Amino acid sequence: MKVLVTGNLGYIGTVMVPMLLAAGHEVHGMDVDLYERCTFGPESGITQVPTTIKDIRDAEVADFVGFDAVIHLAGLSNDPLGDFRPELTFDINYRASVRLAALAREAGVRRFLFTSSCSNYGAGGSDMLDEDGALNPVTPYGKSKVMAEGEVRALADERFCPVILRPATAYGLSPRLRFDLVINNLVAWAHSTGKIHIKSDGSPWRPVVHIQDISRAFLAALEAPRGVVFNQAFNVGRTGENYQVRDLANIVGQVIPKAQVEFAQGASPDTRNYRVSFEKIARVLPEFQPRWTAKLGAEQLRDAYLDHGVTLEEFEGPRYQRIAHIKQLIREGVLNEDLRKVGAPVGAK
């Protein structure tokens, strides 16, 4: 297939693109490349494919002509970034995403994979939730994903096949690494300070999934027969990989035994609290075979941090924290208040 990946230069995209190529697909990208300074390791670690450097808000029908499928990863990627400019979160994650799907359909794209999130379950409590469970988002990020899901699915017809994928909380090594994800962050604290720093009281439930396994799920959904995935939503992960945050801290402690757990001053419960079932994707897409566990991922990160020599100042600073990085780009005049690159030519390749 000829596949367009939006967000191909981001945290997940830089891992997913090589997998798509290895599976024999022709891959192009669309990305504004906000995180070009955030490369972890050599820039040569990022697989190069033809890429349109463009804000998804500026997408046109012509950008999608000739593609068989679109994998839509691009957007404001987490709750803190979503909270920073809530209206822009809705503009990018909701309005621009729905418009992008409509443009793809108009251009004749047959399959559209939309990246949603298990954050949609929000204040879900301790009950196990499947794809038919109540969506109860508590942040602008989660709300924007829920709103986009509904309108993207409404575009489905005999020619256009939307598929909704809701990954669990991501972790794992990437050329465009993020330290604002729970396992990535806990391992970084343990490695650099000898402390496993928990910013909540440790009680919230989180399902977690490695970004390589997220990529495998997208590949399975891309290649599945149309009737199997048509207008379906899939949670992405494994049911056995639901943990309370304190459990994740204990796993990190097994991987870095000298590190001690500590709670942030005034730590309190997180309103985001959800356990998620992943039985549907295991049943409907048996080609999706996840390979990672939280412990294996923590070991991968530990080894990478050792090789790189990660420091507290580095991982808590603006380079690898998405919200801090965006604020720095605004201060420097690289981005304007609408989160658009200043002086960037629209559609440059």
Q: What is the pLDDT of residues 91-105, one digit of tens each?
A: 999 999 999 999 999
For residues 206 and 184, is the Cβ–Cβ distance under 8 A?
A: no
Predicted confidence at residue 85, as pLDDT, reads 82
Tell me, what's the pLDDT at 268? Answer: 62
Residue 247 CB contacts under 8 Å (≥ 6 apart), including other chains: none
* pLDDT < 50 positions in the chain: 347-349
- What confidence score (pLDDT) does residue 267 get? 64
Here the tokens at position 137 are: 């988002």
The residues spanned by each domain of the chain are: 2-178+208-243+274-292+322-331
Distances (CA, A) of 327 to 35, 105, 226, 318, 331: 12, 34, 42, 8, 6
Class of domain 2-178+208-243+274-292+322-331: alpha beta
User: Do 233 and 132 contact (CB within 8 A), yes or no?
Assistant: no
- Distance between CA 106 and CA 153 in Å, rounded? 15
pLDDT at 274 (0 to 100): 87
Which of 200, 236, 193, 191 lies closest to 217 in space, CA to CA? 236
Chain mean position to CA 120: 13
At 346 the pLDDT is: 52
Nearest to 198 by CA among 246, 266, 255: 246
Alpha helices in the chain (DSSP H): 13-22, 79-84, 86-89, 97-106, 140-153, 182-193, 211-223, 226-229, 245-255, 279-284, 294-308, 312-315, 322-331
* Residue 269 confidence (pLDDT): 64
